């Protein structure tokens, strides 16, 4: 029985491999590491042994890293694929990005490389369903709202496109946000640390790279609502935007660090990306899940997903974001945003509460049923006074009309006395 993670390093420069061996020597008791100088040897090794993670240079003679990782993706979709590379041009990034889960720039510190590998291994451990592992590791890109794609493309075609208009348009779509974060952390930019802020990423990318990103349509799967009529991508995004702001504002009110506040915002934007994966990849089966929720009001979408897929959107989303190199706090928060009793850090706690608050108070349509919030508040040790302060702070600091403005005091009091509303929503935001 295999107990050690098997990791394969590929680089055509022997001195780089020697340096990696020295850097990672202290992990030799927990990792089974292999070092080869070309893609052919890497494929031969894969034929003999399963590989958990492959870390390959991009620029290599003969079979380069992009071709190797593409082959690995086809032969072993469950293998996590990481590019460890120096400065590369934009064409190489675009050609390789479909086969790469995340990029690491070299040279890099031993501690940083170990952290990235351990993060990827933790992400792999989130899923135990082999079919879902193979599905998620095959994902090239997340769906993009057609209207967002069209608006961004139209602006980019103008003689003098507005970076402000493009940034505002892109920020509306969770799938595009994820792709931008993935791209900004590639070797093309040579940044020493991970960028996890949407605003900073858009500013750093610039118009030319935005144009390459948007026009490279093969990076994205355009979501077509006609394939799943009961699933609304627009409503899902609106929910994600609200949760992002609610989590950020609660963290701000609690005097959390700037880092935690930033992580809350990012986790809120991305917390339901697993629904995009599941709905677009399994449209018929996901329709069954939505129908199950609609016909059984006591069932949540997460419960229906678990029944039909043996996995939930929270785990799928966390796995994908972990593969793409998001911070461990964000990955953990996404994975546990429904499992409040397992929350063990501030980002996860704020996200879980924000998600429940939005589901409970924001009524999307006539058939919308509120979900229970009381249990989560009490389990998170939130009292009525603290919760009232949160709602007041959110309303005062929301940009525009707050969705929580009309909550009467009696409704808040009811949350801490008797649970009367417990039916889950049948909306895709649940």
Question: Which pLDDT tens digit goes with each residue over 93-133?
Answer: 666 667 888 878 777 888 888 988 888 888 777 777 777 77
Average per-residue pLDDT in the chain? 81
The residue with greater pLDDT, 276 or 143, is 276
Q: Are strands 31-36 and 5-10 parallel, antiparallel or unpaired?
A: parallel
* pLDDT over 80 (residue 275): yes
> Domain 228-415 carries which CATH code?
1.10.3210.10
Encode pLDDT of 346-355 as tens digits.
899 999 999 9
**Mean pLDDT calculated for residue range 39-68:** 93
The reported pTM is 0.77
Return all residues near 272 (Cβ < 8 A) that are at least 6 apart: 174, 236, 239, 240, 313, 317, 429
* pLDDT over 50 (residue 219): no
Q: Where in the chain is the domain with CATH 3.40.50.2300?
A: 5-126
**Mean pLDDT calculated for residue range 307-315:** 89
* pLDDT over 90 (residue 168): no
Q: Where in the chain is the domain with CATH 1.10.3210.10?
A: 228-415
The percentage of residues in the chain with a pLDDT greater than 90, rounded to a whole number, is 26
* pLDDT over 70 (residue 401): yes
Residue 370 has what DSSP assignment?
P
Return all residues near 351 (Cβ < 8 A) that are at least 6 apart: 243, 247, 264, 267, 268, 271, 333, 334, 337
- Sign of the CA dihedral with 308 first, then 314, 320, and 322 last: negative
DSSP 157-185: TSSS--HHHHHHHHTT-HHHHHHHHHHHT
The residue with greater pLDDT, 225 or 394, is 394
Identify whether 326 is preceded by a cis peptide bond (ω within 30 of 0). Answer: no
d(CA 367, CA 307): 23
* pLDDT over 50 (residue 17): yes
Confidence category of residue 188, pLDDT binned at 50, 70, 90: low
CB 45 within 8 A of CB 35: no
**Mean pLDDT calculated for residue range 175-203:** 74
CB 343 within 8 A of CB 355: no
Return the CATH fold of 5-126: Rossmann fold (3.40.50)
């Amino acid at each position: 029985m295999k107990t050690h993670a098997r990791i394969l390093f590929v680089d055509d420069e022997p001195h780089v491999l020697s340096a990696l061996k020295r850097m990672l020597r202290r992990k030799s008791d927990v990792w089974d590491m292999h070092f080869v100088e070309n893609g052919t040897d890497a494929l031969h090794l894969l034929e003999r042994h399963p590989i958990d993670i492959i870390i390959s240079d991009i620029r290599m003679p003969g079979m380069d890293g992009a071709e190797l990782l593409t082959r690995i993706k086809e032969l072993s979709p469950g293998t996590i694929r990481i590019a460890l590379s120096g400065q590369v041009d934009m064409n190489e990034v675009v050609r390789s990005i479909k086969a790469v889960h995340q990029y690491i720039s070299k040279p890099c510190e031993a501690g940083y490389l170990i952290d990235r590998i351990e993060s990827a291994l933790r992400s792999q451990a989130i899923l135990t369903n082999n079919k879902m592992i193979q599905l998620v590791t095959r994902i090239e890109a997340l769906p993009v709202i057609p209207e967002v794609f069209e608006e961004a493309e139209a602006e980019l075609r103008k003689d003098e496109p507005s970076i402000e208009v493009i940034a505002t348009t892109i920020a509306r779509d969770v799938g595009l946000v994820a792709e931008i974060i993935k791209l900004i952390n590639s070797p093309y930019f040579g940044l020493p640390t991970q960028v996890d802020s949407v605003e900073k990423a858009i500013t750093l990318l610039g118009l030319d790279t935005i144009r390459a990103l948007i026009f490279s349509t093969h990076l994205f799967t355009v979501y077509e609502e006609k394939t799943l009529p009961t699933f609304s991508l627009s409503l899902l995004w609106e929910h994600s935007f609200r949760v992002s702001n609610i989590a950020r504002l609660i963290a701000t009110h609690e005097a959390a660090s700037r880092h935690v506040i930033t992580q809350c915002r990012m986790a809120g934007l991305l917390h339901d990306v697993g629904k995009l994966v599941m709905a677009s990849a399994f449209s018929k089966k996901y329709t069954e899940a939505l129908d199950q929720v609609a016909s059984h009001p006591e069932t949540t979408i997460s419960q229906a997903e678990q029944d039909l897929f043996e996995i939930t959107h929270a785990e799928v989303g966390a796995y994908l974001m972990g593969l793409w190199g998001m911070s461990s706090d964000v990955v953990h928060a996404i994975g546990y945003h429904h499992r409040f009793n397992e929350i063990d850090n501030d980002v996860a706690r704020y996200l879980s509460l924000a998600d429940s608050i939005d589901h409970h108070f924001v009524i999307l349509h006539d058939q919308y049923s509120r979900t229970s919030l009381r249990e989560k508040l009490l389990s998170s040790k939130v009292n009525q006074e603290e919760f009232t302060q949160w709602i007041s702070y959110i309303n005062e600091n929301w940009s525009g009309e707050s969705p929580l403005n009309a909550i009467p005091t009696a409704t808040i009091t009811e949350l801490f006395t008797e649970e009367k509303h417990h039916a889950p929503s049948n909306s895709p935001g649940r």
